[in-house]
Amino acid sequence: MTSTSRPSPTPTASVDPTEPRWLTPAEQHLWRTFMRMRQQLDAQLARQIQAESDISIADFSVLVVLTDVPEGRVRVLELARNLQWEKSRLSHHLARMVKRGLIERAECTEDGRGSFVVITDAGRRAIEAAAPRHVELVRTLFFDPLSEEQVTQLTQISERILGAMEGCPEALSES
């Protein structure tokens, strides 16, 4: 999946700058394993939360931010930045969540264009119901298999990659 093997015969030690730097077998293996791992992880977390509660994992993420914040009340763009979602995705999603009664809108008096998102009681109940099993699964699938050392390593690795992306030519989602 999303793979990157050399599709053609093999000019093994090429220094041709027009020839892309194909992945070595070891790199290839990491890339595939990594992708498969994160994909399974996502899928399991999504499936579990969907199956055992009334909300999706996307709802969950939104609600998490809202419970983390004073009065359960945030500006939409603040939310978008926090979640790193495109604003249009967020807009659509918030509309659906309003329809389901998980959140409400509130007018923003300081800025006539803006609007606030507020968590409702139903929303609070929903996330409180979903959270414990979710954390448990995160632990089981992600933390339990790792040693303390590996946790440290993975932290550094993630920070490295993330850091590298922040200064990348490719536009980050418009923030």
Partner DNA sequence: CCGATCTGGATGACATGTCAACCAAAGAGG
Partner DNA sequence: CCTCTTTGGTTGACATGTCATCCAGATCGG
118 near its own copies, judged by CB under 8 A: no
Cα-only R_g, the chain: 21
108 binds, among its own copies, DNA, none (CB under 5 to 8 A by kind): DNA
Check binding of 88 to its own copies (CB under 8 A). no
Closest approach of DNA to the CB of residue 129, in Å = 16
59 binds, among DNA, its own copies, none (CB under 5 to 8 A by kind): DNA
On whether the CB atoms of residues 102 and 126 are closer than 8 A, the answer is: yes
Q: Which does 77 bind (CB under 5 to 8 A by kind): its own copies, DNA, none?
A: DNA
Please report, as residue ranges, which positions from 42 to 81 form the binding site for its own copies (by CB under 8 A).
Answer: 43-45, 47-48, 57, 60-61, 64-65, 67-68
What are the C-alpha distances in Å from 146 to residues 127, 129, 141, 155? 27, 27, 9, 12
The contacts of residue 122 (CB under 8 Å, 6+ apart) are 101, 102
